[in-house]
Structure 1
Amino acid sequence: MPSSHNQGICKSRDQKADYSNYGSEISVCAPSSGAGGWRITTSDVRGTYIDQSGNKRGAGYSQGQGYTNAFDRSGFGGTSSACPLVAGICALLFSIKPDLTSQQVKDLIQKTARRIGDGASYDPQSHSPYYGYGCIDAASAAQAILSEITKQVDENSDDDSDVLEMAQETALAGAQ
C-alpha cells in the first residue's frame, strides 16, 4: 500500500525493543520505553465524561490498565507511544510544507533517519531489518524541508522572506 508506513521500535538507548517487529518492510524505528530504556512521559486527559449509555467514565487513557486519570504518566510505552511519535513528526513536516505527498514524507523521514544499533545489520542500501533506515529524526527532517524552502525562496525572489521565516518558526517549535 503506497500510503502505509511500517515502523519498528527501539529503546530510548538506541537498541531494538524486544517487542518490535522486524523485516524488510520496516521503514524507520521510533523510540519507546522498553526494558532498560528511559521511560516515556506523556500527558493525559483529566476529568470524566458520560458515555452513550449514560455511565460516568474517566476521561484518561485505558482506565484500569495501569493508567490513571492523572495529568501525566511516566510508564507510557510500546507502540502506544512510538506510533503517535511518528505521526506527530509527519504532521510537523506537513505543517511546514503542506503540499508534500505522503510518499515524499516517507522518503524524507527515511533519508534523514539516524543510524542506530549494530552497523553490520544495515545493507548496502542503508536498510536494517531491525531499524529500517534508522531512528526517526524530527530535527533533521524539518531542516531538510527548510533547506529546500530556502533554496526555492533564494531562486525566486526576496519577497517570500516572510514565508520562510514562518516555516522556520513552525519547524523550530515543533522539533523541540
Structure 2
Amino acid sequence: MLRLVALSLVCLLVACDGSQVEGQRLFEDQALLAPASGVTQTEADGTVTSRDPDDWRIGPAYANQVTILSLPSPNPVQLGEALSFVVDTQGVPGGLRLVVRSVDPVTRVVDLLRIRDPEAERPEAAASGFYPFAVSVRQLAIEGPRLYRVVLVTGNGGIVSYGDVEVVG
C-alpha cells in the first residue's frame, strides 16, 4: 500500500511538472506568435490608466521567481523618451534582458532582437534583488513609431514576461 501511495505521489508530481512545462510553452507561443494588440497604458510616474489583460503576465515557469513591481512606463511613449520599469527576482539563470520581437512581413519568421541599450540587460539578476530597466525608446523602435511587442527573457532565453508598447512620434 505504501508503494502505491508513493508511486501515486511521483506520478502526481510528474503531471504537475508536465502541466507547468506545457503552460510555459503556450505562454511563449503567445509571446512570439500572437499579434501585438492593445497596451497597458501608464503615466510617466507608473500610474496605470488602463490595462490590457494580456500584457506583462509572468510565465508559469517563473511565477514564483519574478514580479514586475512597476509596469513599463510611460506607455504610449514618445520616440525620444525612455521606457522604465522595475523587476523583483529571486534570481533567474543568466539574469534578465529585454528584447523586441520582429516578424518578417514576407516569410512570417519571428526573431527576438537585442535592444542595444546597456540598461536593457541585467546579468546581475541571476541573484535575488530589485532590478530597474530604463531603455531608450530609439533603441526599441527599430521601425519608427508603431506598436511593438517587448519581451523580458532570461539570459538562457526563457520568456519571463511580455507586453505591447506603443511608440508615438
TM-score bucket (shorter structure): under 0.3
Report the structure, 1 or 2, having the larger helix content. Answer: 1
Report the structure, 1 or 2, having the larger strand content. Answer: 2
TM-score, structure 2 length as denominator?
0.24
TM-score, structure 1 length as denominator?
0.23
